Structure 1
Amino acid sequence: MVPPEQLLAYIAQLSLKRIPGVGPKSLERLQNAGYYLGQDIQAAELGRLQQLLGEKAGWLLQQRCNGIDPRPVVTERSRKSVGCEETLRHDFQHLRQVEQFLDDVLLPQLKKRLGQARWQDTHIKSQTVKLKFSDFQQTTVSRTAKTVSPSLFYQLVREASERRNQRSVRLVGLSVALPDPDEQLQLELALD
């Protein structure tokens, strides 16, 4: 949290890539023109910024770097997924080791994070398994599902493991995508 009296000084030291609305292309244009920090924009002429970024984007950037942003602060958002992953102390060479790790560590962690007594009580959109290999390449496998199924995780691990190509496994992860609560709402039709 930044107190109002420290807002301009806080923004002044921020890299422009941290300012909402500054993407990779805008950042490149700004840096090519010598703008790197919030303080550079605070001192810049509006016309120059609009020349670089366009009328609206230049104006918005100057507003935000001067602490003017009328958008409401959102402190809560709905959770989109729940997952757990662990980098292993020692790489696994065999599928059976990965399956045992699922059984002993990751499935209990996931169940605890979901906060349900039974797997079938958690409604989801999909399940995903992630494996990272000894060469730091990774693969993920997902399937659509309505409720969590531990057996599906084992199927996904076997499928992901087929992509190992003799590499050992250094990280294993599980996740479920949760349904958007707004998708459950039925729209009302205005019938006269």
Structure 2
Amino acid sequence: MRPEASVLHLDLDAFFASVEQRDKPSLRGKPVVVGGVGARGVVATASYEARVFGVRSAMPGGEARRRCPHAAFLGGRFGAYREASGQVMARLRALSPLVEPLSLDEAFVDLRAAESVPGYDTATLQRVVDELRAAITEATDGLTASVGVGTSKFMAKIASELAKPDGSRIVEPGTEVALLAPMEVGVIPGVGPVTVDKLQRIGLHRVGDLQDVDVDELAQVLGRNAATALVALAHARDDRPVEAEREAKSISTEDTFERDLTDVAELTAILRRDARAVARRLTASGLFARTVTLKLRRHDFSTITRSRTLLSATDRAEVVASVAEALLAGVDVTDGVRLLGVGVAGLTDVLQEDLFAEDPPALAEADAAPGAEPTSAPDEEPEPPRRAGWTPGADVEHDEHGPGWVWGSGVGRVTVRFETRTTGPGPVRTFSEDDPRLRRC
């Protein structure tokens, strides 16, 4: 345990939705849902205006529409989110060299390594936090962040949750146990619905209940290791360091379809496209993979996972695709597939390709599959769905009217609202989908 509050946790507020509201003036102050565009889509992020109606991340898009039918449902612009995230992470690294990103919108910072932090008293820390939040808002043209500071990662995370939205909280050393006591047990990392149910069955509803429990008794319900770790966190004992470099365990991409697919050729085209995406991420990270995994979800929601370990590590799209196709060939898809994914694991930074192996067939860049919604697997950064055609929220440009974004499309037409981050709310106009003057950006 650290004797001082020197771990900072930052969480951008409703990140994806906030970027959309920033760049689309007509949506500011209104409910916005990113993701959930298709019939089987899932909500990636909801603005606070949409959360009032009960819309939450990971909620099926259909349920989100029932709860908030007047919200703007957008497909997502991952490039814009990456750009904003880069601006935020740059500000964090300017504060301290020890920054541990957890996702595009969340990170831990070790203030012990920050030369600009002269002390850890509450007044000094509050000044540092206020300056950081102001710098992030300025760098991102208006995005806000919730920031917490505590003696550990756990307490810093708790503090930022208490600060939401657009606030800050510093938990002073010695106050942690009392702060945690009235909270529900689910606030502890790793305590999901199943564990909550087990704890509640034996009368443990609050963190304070865990603070008073005997570890040996709890071990009979959860096991020795889980019980020991749970009681330690209940007492705010967490010595995990802030790690500037987090080793990736896997890289993967998944596709959820509007309709169940049974065409092997179509599924193969999806695998090839996703293999290229995975290989690009491997190359960008300077990594090579030893294991290729195929994930497939049937029409009845049963999930099949197949893996194959290579003789040597690779970052080649054609190798990943060839193995994935071989794995797919061993699965019966006649009843329909609703989700398909390709992943790699066993990552290394050393190239170990088999020089004597036959080259698999090259993949044509034109390989694609219509009607798919790729989304990131849990091991990656959360990427909102990509959709073919005129995706709601996508950036476009018209020769006469200039830049704008897709308001909606269908029946051979596309409706565009012409506005940008700096113009204020703009007019809405409808065009033919094949209008040569209108193009995607």
Return the TM-score normalized by structure 1. 0.67
The question of 1:4 aligning with 2:171 is answered yes
Specify whether residues 100 and 62 from structure 1 end up closer, same or farther in structure 2 by C-alpha distance, changes over 3 A only.
Answer: closer
1:99 maps to: 268
Secondary structure of 1:99's counterpart equals: helix
2:329 maps to: 158
Q: How far off is 1:72 after superposition? A: 2.8
Render the CA deviation track for 1:109-136: whole Å, top value 9, x for unaligned.
21222225xxxx8532211111111111
The question of 1:167 aligning with 2:335 is answered yes
2:208 maps to: 39
Specify whether residues 80 and 167 from structure 1 end up closer, same or farther in structure 2 by C-alpha distance, changes over 3 A only.
Answer: same
Render the CA deviation track for 1:50-102: whole Å, top value 9, x for unaligned.
46236x98776554312233x23344431111111110122212111101222
Render the CA deviation track for 1:13-54: whole Å, top value 9, x for unaligned.
1426835699x78973x5344212202234x3xxx5246236
2:183 maps to: 13
1:109 maps to: 277
Gaps of 5+ in 1: 182-192
Higher relative contact order (CA 8 A, sep 6+): 1
- Matched to 1:4, the amino acid is V
Secondary structure of 1:106's counterpart equals: helix
In structure 1, what is the Cα distance between the partners aligned to 2:216 and 2:181?
A: 22
Task: Map residues 10-89 of structure 1 onto 2, 5 A cutoff.
Answer: 10=180, 12-15=182-185, 18=188, 28=198, 30-42=199-211, 44=212, 49-50=214-215, 52-53=217-218, 61-69=230-238, 71-75=239-243, 76-89=245-258
Gaps of 5+ in 2: 1-155, 160-169, 350-441
RMSD: 3.5
Specify whether residues 50 and 114 from structure 1 end up closer, same or farther in structure 2 by C-alpha distance, changes over 3 A only.
Answer: closer
In structure 1, what is the Cα distance between the partners aligned to 2:294 and 2:201?
A: 42
Return the TM-score normalized by structure 2. 0.32
In structure 2, what is the Cα distance between the partners aligned to 1:61 and 1:102?
A: 41
2:291 maps to: 126
Asked if structure 1 preserves the Cα contact closer than 8 Å seen for 2:215 and 2:231, the reply is no
Specify whether residues 25 and 110 from structure 1 end up closer, same or farther in structure 2 by C-alpha distance, changes over 3 A only.
Answer: closer
Q: How far off is 1:175 after superposition? A: 0.6
In the comparison of the two structures, how many residue pairs are matched?
A: 166
In structure 2, what is the Cα distance between the partners aligned to 1:59 and 1:72?
A: 15
Specify whether residues 132 and 110 from structure 1 end up closer, same or farther in structure 2 by C-alpha distance, changes over 3 A only.
Answer: same
Asked if structure 2 preserves the Cα contact closer than 8 Å seen for 1:128 and 1:174, the reply is yes
Secondary structure of 2:289's counterpart equals: coil
Runs of 4+ in 1 over 6 A off after TM superposition: 24-27, 56-60
